[in-house]
Amino acid sequence: MSNSNASEKYLKWLKEELEEGNIDFYEYSLFRNVKEIGKGGFGFIYSAEYDYDEVKVAFKTKEATKEFVSELKHLRAMKFNSYINQFYGITIEPKTEYLMLVLQFADGGNLRQYLQRKWHENVFRISLNEIIKIAKQITLGLYRLHENNIIHCDLHPKNILINDGKFLIADFGLIATSQGAPAYIDPLCHQPQVPQIKRNKKSDVYSLGVIFWELTSGTVPFDNAVNGLVVCIQILQGYRYDIIPGTPPNFAGLYQNCWDIDPQKRPTTKEILEILNKISEEIVAEEFITNDNRDLTPILTRNGTPNLLSVGPSVQILNEPNLKNLKKSSTDDAIELKAQGLILYETNNYEDSLNLLSKSLKINPDDADALKFRGLTYFKQKESI
C-alpha cells in the first residue's frame, strides 16, 4: 500500500470516528495565543487557549498514519484518568492542514525539569515523602495503562508531565522497537537484529526502576556516555548505578528488582504500588536524601545481569575519544559494526556477533580489539555447540 493510499485509509477512519462522536473536533479558529513550545520525536508541540472556557491546552502535530491511529485509540481509551495527560480531541491547522491532537496543557513542565530545579549550590535534596508521592503517581498511571493492555514503550522523565502539582504520564504506546531513550530501555530490547523482541509490561517496569533511582539522585543516568550505543553496551554488561546514600533499603531494593535483567524477576505495577504504600506507612519522621555528585559513574552489578562476563569493553574503553565520531547512520562504519558485534556477544548471539566483527575487520584489519573479540566469540560459539 502506497503512503498516499495508507494516509487516505486512516483519514477515512478518522472521519468515521468523528461522525460517530467517538472523537471530539475543535474548530482551530476558536483557539488563541498559539505558541510553539517544543519539538518531540513525533511532531511539533504548541500551547494555546480555548476561547469558550479559557482553558489552556497543548497541540501536537501529527500525520494520518498507522501510528497516529494507534495513538488516538490509546488516548481515547485512557480519557478521564487522573494520572494520564488528558486527550480532548483533534483540530486542523487551516494553512498547513496539519492534524493536531488537543491535549491537556501541563503547567509544571516535566519530571526531568522538576528534578533539576532541586539542585541548589551543587547539592540535590529531596524528601523521602516526596519521592514516594511521585513514585506512586507515576506507578498509578502506568498501572492504568497496563490494565487497558497499553504498553508505554518509552517511559522516561521527559514523558512524565506535571499539572497542578500532579505527575501525569504522556506520549505512550508510540514505539515498540529499539527507539527511545537508551538509558531507560529494557536491556533485552537493545539487541540488534532481533526485531521480534518488543516492549511489554515488564519493559515498562524496567524503565520505572531507572526513574525511581533518578528520583533519589537528581542526575540523568548514563549522561556522560559518548552516544546511545555505548549506553546499550554498558547496560547489557550489567552496569547500573549504586544506591544514593540515605536511600531506604526497601526503596533501593524495589528499583533494583525493577531493573533486573530477568523480566520474570521484575514486579508488576500492582506489586510496586503495594510496596510503595508499605514504605509510606513506615515513614515516621521527615527524611531527606541528598546527592552532591552530578557525575555519578555506573558500576558493574550482579543484580544487573546473571552472567557477568570477564571480557567485553569497560566503561573506560567505551568512553574513549575514537568512539565519539561513531556514525549511527552508516552500517559500514567499522567502529559501529564492532560495537554492535559486542552487544550481540553480550547477549550470547555468537553467530551474528562473528558476522559483524568480521565485517568490521574487513574495513579495519588492524583493529586489535575486534580481532580479540572475534577470537573469543568464535571460541564461545564452538563451546555452545
Q: Annotated binding site for ATP: which residue ranges?
A: 60
Q: Which three cell numbers stand for residue 156?
A: 522516561
> Is residue 65 within 8 Å of 10, Cβ to Cβ?
yes
Binding positions are 60
Instruction: Answer yes or no: are the C-beta atoms of 157 and 111 closer than 8 Å.
Output: yes
- In the chain, the amino acid numbered 320 is E
Q: CA-CA distance, 212 to 207, in Å (whole number)?
A: 9
What is the C-alpha separation between 150 and 377, in angstroms, rounded? 38
Q: Residue 234: which of 300, 294, 188 has the closest Cα? A: 300
Torsions phi, psi for 335 (to 5 deg)? -65, -45
Q: Which three cell numbers stand for residue 227?
A: 552516544
Sheet hosting strand 123-127, strand order edge to edge: 119-120, 123-127, 288-291
Residues sharing a CB contact under 8 Å with residue 21, sequence separation 6 or more, in sequence order: none
Cell, residue 170? 504522556
- DSSP collapsed to 3 states, 269-325: HHHHHHHHHHHHHHCCCCCEEEECCCCCCCEECCCCCCCCCCCCCCHHHHCCHHHCC
- For the chain, the farthest-separated pair of C-alpha atoms sits apart, in whole angstroms, at 71
